[in-house]
Amino acid sequence: MADVTLENVGKTYGKHRIISDFSVTIKDGECFTFLGPSGCGKTVILRLIAGFERLTDGSIYIGDRLVSSAEKNIHLPPEKRKIGMVFQDYAVWPHKSVSENIVYPLQMQKIETAEAKERTLSAVKLVNLTGLETRMPFQLSGGQQQRVALARALISKPRVMLLDEPLSNLDANLREEMRFEITSLQKQTGVTILYVTHDQEVALAISDRLAVMDKAGRIRQIGPPDDIYEKPIDPFIFKFMGISNFIPLEYRNGQLFIRDSNALLGCPVTDGSLERLQSHELVVGCRPYDIELIHKEGHAQGTIQRIIYLGATIDYRVAVGGKILRVQQDVRDAGQGGIPFRTGDPVGLKFRDLKWFENRGMDEEGES
Ligand SMILES: Nc1ncnc2c1ncn2[C@@H]1O[C@H](COP(=O)(O)OP(=O)(O)OP(=O)(O)O)[C@@H](O)[C@H]1O
Ligand SMILES: [Mg+2]
């Protein structure tokens, strides 16, 4: 298996610059995700690594081998890169059976029949399709077709698997099941996986590390899932990773308020941030479940504007200090303490966790 290294990679189409100065190393055997908004260049990056596209600048290494270099005019063709790729629309051939689809890359490589048969059997087993070998794609569910595509990509024993949004056409249950399958495939084979998605939940679930990209195709933060989620470096990441409130603040009489209001936040100002707070250099982010709703007085007072039942949670929009905040409550907590909230009810808010950010990165979400 192999590391994948991108060094100062750039790509333009005509006058359009899609990627600039893009550098990252994906470690051998790692499941690494590029997470970013639609159009930021994720598929282009995978196509550059696979060798379907030529670089405009920089170089790409797979293991020790320099496979693409703009400066040295090197471009190893895709079939020599030992890469397996699965695309978003999984593209299985409709006129070939499961095993015919899976064995196809080996036929192209002129691998002798006995070996091809054996490897097909083990690939079928690896993706849990045993018993379905003779079925045609129209006789398979979306998830089963996706497994055919995975097996077909794995059969050539690639050093690296490139997976481009492979789960986006599946329903929520299947998506969850396939997430497990991909992680367990990786454990069994040790293959390096590069996964591309705009779905933060999938990225958090499957990745050893992930890179969050902005609209301009720049990497904003790289790290393991819990770091990205718990320690986002800027408001853009915080917003991209889940439902978020950004609250403008004001410091008066030794206390913090929602700006231009009497709504009290009831939390301490962090060291040295007072001056910057007053010049609006700081902004505070808050997740919906980090705000507690209480019936008692003595905290920021708001009014419930809308309630949506989501099964495990209840989602509220609360008007407070001239702002609307999203608040979420575990459905079991809503029943406790007597009376559940109703639209129009006055409510007290208690802020449990606030994340402090420099007041930038919000407006410049990477549009260029
Ligand atoms: N062959 C091409 N010629 C010109 N522009 C292209 C080409 N391929 C991609 N682009 C442009 O490059 C940008 C990045 O595209 P890309 O497909 O990598 O986005 P993405 O991050 O994969 O988005 P999505 O999440 O929607 O799949 C887009 O603006 C797209 O229009
Ligand atoms: Mg794409």
- Nearest-CA residue for atom 24 of ligand 1: 38
Q: Is the pTM of this model over 0.95?
A: no
Largest CA-CA distance found in the chain, in angstroms, rounded = 82
**Are both 233 and 282 inside the same structural domain?**
no
The response to whether residue 18 sits with its C-beta less than 6 Å from ligand 1 reads yes
**Are both 270 and 186 inside the same structural domain?**
no
The response to whether residue 335 sits with its C-beta less than 6 Å from ligand 1 reads no
Distances (CA, A) of 335 to 89, 347, 348: 44, 15, 17
Residue for token pair 């917003």: 239
Residue for token pair 């849990």: 128
**Are both 169 and 233 inside the same structural domain?**
yes
Q: What is the CATH number of the domain that holds 262?
A: 2.40.50.140
**Are both 310 and 169 inside the same structural domain?**
no
Q: Number of structural domains, the chain?
A: 2
**Are both 36 and 180 inside the same structural domain?**
yes
Q: If you measure from the C-alpha of residue 38 to the centroid of ligand 1, how many angstroms do you get, rounded to a whole number?
A: 8
Tell me the pLDDT tens digit for each residue of 320-358: 988 999 999 988 887 666 668 899 999 999 888 888 887
The response to whether residue 35 sits with its C-beta less than 6 Å from ligand 1 reads no
334 vs 233 pLDDT, higher one: 233
In a domain, 363, yes or no: no
The response to whether residue 123 sits with its C-beta less than 6 Å from ligand 1 reads no
- Checking if the pLDDT of 127 tops 70, the result is yes
Per-residue model confidence (pLDDT) at position 200: 93
Distances (CA, A) of 128 to 145, 180, 185: 12, 12, 10
- Checking if the pLDDT of 367 tops 50, the result is no
Q: Is the Cβ–Cβ distance between 252 and 268 less than 8 Å?
A: no
Distances (CA, A) of 297 to 253, 266, 289, 346, 349: 20, 13, 20, 10, 9
User: Which tokens is 217 given?
Assistant: 């195709």
Rounded average pLDDT over 5-33: 96
State the number of CA atoms in the 13 A half-sphere of 282 facing the CB: 19
How does DSSP classify residue 41? S
- Nearest-CA residue for atom 20 of ligand 1: 39
Quick one: what percent of the chain has pLDDT higher than 70? 94
**Are both 236 and 251 inside the same structural domain?**
no
Q: If you measure from the C-alpha of residue 129 to the centroid of ligand 2, how many angstroms do you get, rounded to a whole number?
A: 27
State which of 180, 209, 240 marks the end of a domain: 240
State which of 177, 211, 240 marks the end of a domain: 240
- Phi, then psi, of 306 in degrees rounded to 5: -155, 145
* For ion ligand 2, residues whose CB falls within 5 Å: 43
- Checking if the pLDDT of 81 tops 70, the result is yes
Partners of 116 in the β-ladder = none
